[in-house]
Structure formats: structure tokens, C-alpha cells
Amino acid sequence: MSLDLDYYELLECDRSADEAALKASYRKLAMKYHPDRNPGCKDSEARFKAINEAYDCLRDPQRRAAYDRFGKAGVNGGAGGFGGGHGSDFGDIGDIFESIFGSAFGGARQQRGPARGADLRYDMEIRLEDAFTGVTREIEVDVAARCDACDGSGAKPGTRTHRCSTCGGHGKVRAQQGFFMVERTCPACQGAGEVIADPCNSCHGEGRVDRRKRLTVTIPPGVDEGTRIRLSGEGESGARGAAPGDLYIFLHMARHKLFEREGTTLFTRAPISFTTAALGGCITIPGLDGRKHEIAIPAGIQSGKQLRQRGAGMPVLNGRGHGDLVIQIDVETPTRLTAKQKELLQAFRDTETGEECPASQGFFGRIKDMWEDLTD
């Protein structure tokens, strides 16, 4: 890609474009080709530099007039960009940089001190019964905890720190990155602004030591797979007394032998005999609440029918009430019959008229009609 292009072509503007149009196009292209948005791309970096050179020239009325008449030769060989005598529009660059990285970049430059400690993750498996009632668990985690010997300062007790000579106590150093001056955390003091001359013997200047911590976790009723519980300040301690991170408990549900769950609804399958399905009856389902739920089976129920017990499901997390318990009925055909049972069933079949099973009668009626149509 050749960048020896007309300045107006670089900015994708007509030669009659006014100042506002030039600026709008420049801002759009500068964001598009910014090196931080295209890391490692030499073409984008070259394009970005050329765009800045073009805008630096055309935004100045006198230089633009010279360029329009004599080309690049009329503006001292096009000595624009960040190295040009006029310099670049740093107000515009600042706006673009903020558009790319957000307003938090400006605030970050005012931060001082070591970074906050890292957050930690702990995966915990619980039973469905525990999710129903809520439970308290004790866990042990290995963390970088505050050093008791130096109280997290990193300095040997009785000694003092002194101002960092690298950053002058600011905790930040400036470095040239591409076309920008960027502030970064001082590598000598890790942002503290102070250097430890005599480090603590226990933590070697870190202000924290590895330790196993025992914690109590309260799990509320109604939690589900993937529920996250945050324990504020129970993560790793920050270096040199910085604020600690948090500990996040991620919950996982163990497989239950009877119930499946979807939100606050519990599901189970109940096989019943074909006589119970025909005559009706009652079955008992044990609930997670410890109660026995009597489920009435209406006469003539079909396999796959679902019955609902209101309020017998899971509790609402951080709310009131419970979901439902849904029982899917599976009618089971007997496979082991005694001679007497076979005799009774045969006697029953001899009395059938077809009206007992309307769906079956309708199906075979349609088959009969189909054969008659084919033989006509």
C-alpha cells in the first residue's frame, strides 16, 4: 500500500470540504487505523501516521492554501505529523483516545499504590436438598494473606520506606508508545511510590505470605447451578498493604436420584400400573421439604400426562414462595402375569366393544377407511 497519496484522498474528503468535514473524517479514520486497535499491523501504523500528517496540514488555512497550490512541496516537504513544526491537535487526539479506551483511562492515571489483590474462585458441589433448605458450609482455601509480622507493609518492623527515585514518589512513569506518551505503573516500586530498604524477613517485602484460610459460607435457599456467591475481601491480599480481592464461590448441583430441576420447578417420572391408570388411584411422592405429597390419579389417565402439585417445588432465591412439582405419568404394561391374571384379562378382552379405548378405535377405523379407498 503506497501512502504517497493526496492529502484529501488520505482523509477521504473532497477538496472543497470545510473544516468540520475534515475533522469528522479525520476522527473516524484515526480511530479505525489507531495502532492500539491494530496491534502489530505495520500498514495500519503507516496509514495512521499519514492521516495525521494530512490533517495537520489541511486544518491550518495557510498551509492548506499552499498545499492546494503547490502540493507537498508547498508545505516544506510535508513535514507534518507529530514531528512537524505545527504539532498535532492534541485536543482531538485526546478525544479519540478516550473514545477508544473510555473515560476510565483518564482516571487510571491518577491511581497510586500497589494493585488490589487477585480475586479467587472456589467450586462447590451441593445436594438438591441443600439448595432447597439452604446450608452453611466450611471451606479451606490457599491464599496470599497479609503478613502479620509487618502488617502488610513489606518493611522490616522498626524500619522506614523511602521515596522511589525512579518515579519520584508518583507511582507512575511515562514512556513513549508510538505517537503517544503513556503512563504506566512504576516497575521499581510497583506503583507504591515508595521503596523498601530493609524488607520484612517473613514476606521478603511482599507484604503477604501464603496461608491456608478457613471460611464459613452461607448458602441461601433457592440457589441453582452456576449461582455465584461473593465473599468480599476474602481473596488474595494486595502487595504492600493494598486492598484484598474477593472470593467467588461457584455452586454446582449434584445429580438427584428422583428429581430434575428447571428453575424453581421440580420434575419426576412416576410409573403406574395399567389398572391404576384405568381405575384411578393415588400415589405418594416424598418432597424435598420432608412432607409426603399425595397425588390423585384420575381414572383413564394416559401415559405422558403431567400432574402438577402447586408450591411443592424449589424456593425462589431471595424472594418468596416456591415453584411447582410436576409428575409425569408413565403407564407400565405388565410383563409377568400369573395364569389367573391372564385368565382375568382374557375375560376382560372378550367383553371389549372398542368404546373403552376411543383413540385406538379411531386409529384402526382410519386404517379400515384407507384400505377401502385403495380397493375401490
pLDDT in the model for residue 129? 96
pLDDT in the model for residue 253? 95
- Least confident range from 129-133, 240-244, 299-303, 329-333: namely 240-244
Query: Residue 76: left if φ>0, alpha if ψ -120 to 50, beta else—which one?
Result: left
Q: Which residue has the higher pLDDT, 52 or 257?
A: 257
Over residues 10-25, the mean pLDDT reads 87
**Confidence grade of residue 73 (pLDDT, cut at 50, 70, 90):** low
Q: Which residue has the higher pLDDT, 179 or 40?
A: 40
- Least confident range from 193-207, 208-222, 280-294: namely 193-207
7-108 belongs to which CATH class?
A: mainly alpha
Residues belonging to the binding site are 147, 150, 164, 167, 186, 189, 200, 203
Q: Which of 81-90, 120-129, 167-176, 199-208 has the highest mean pLDDT?
A: 120-129
Break the chain into its structural domains and give their ranges. Answer: 7-108, 260-332, 339-375
**Confidence grade of residue 103 (pLDDT, cut at 50, 70, 90):** very low
Task: Return the residue matching grid coordinates 510535508.
Answer: 78
**Confidence grade of residue 233 (pLDDT, cut at 50, 70, 90):** very high
- Least confident range from 81-90, 143-152, 159-168: namely 81-90
For residue range 327-338, what is the model confidence (pLDDT) as tens digits? 999 999 998 999
Whole-number Å distance between alpha carbons of 146 and 238: 8
Q: What is the mean pLDDT of the chain?
A: 82
Residues belonging to the binding site for Zn(2+) are 147, 150, 164, 167, 186, 189, 200, 203
Residue 96: pLDDT over 80: no
pTM recorded for the entire structure: 0.58
pLDDT in the model for residue 177? 62
pLDDT in the model for residue 112? 52
pLDDT in the model for residue 221? 96
pLDDT in the model for residue 307? 96
pLDDT in the model for residue 90? 43
pLDDT in the model for residue 294? 94
For residue range 148-199, what is the model confidence (pLDDT) as tens digits? 888 888 888 888 788 888 888 888 888 766 666 777 878 777 777 888 888 8
Over residues 333-355, the mean pLDDT reads 90
Architecture of domain 260-332: Sandwich (2.60)
pLDDT in the model for residue 176? 65
- Least confident range from 6-10, 112-116, 124-128, 182-186: namely 112-116
Q: Which residues of 288-324 are buried (b: 16+ CB within 10 A; e: fewer)?
A: beeeeeebebeeebeeeeebebeebbbbeeeeeebbe
pLDDT in the model for residue 371? 76
**Confidence grade of residue 326 (pLDDT, cut at 50, 70, 90):** very high
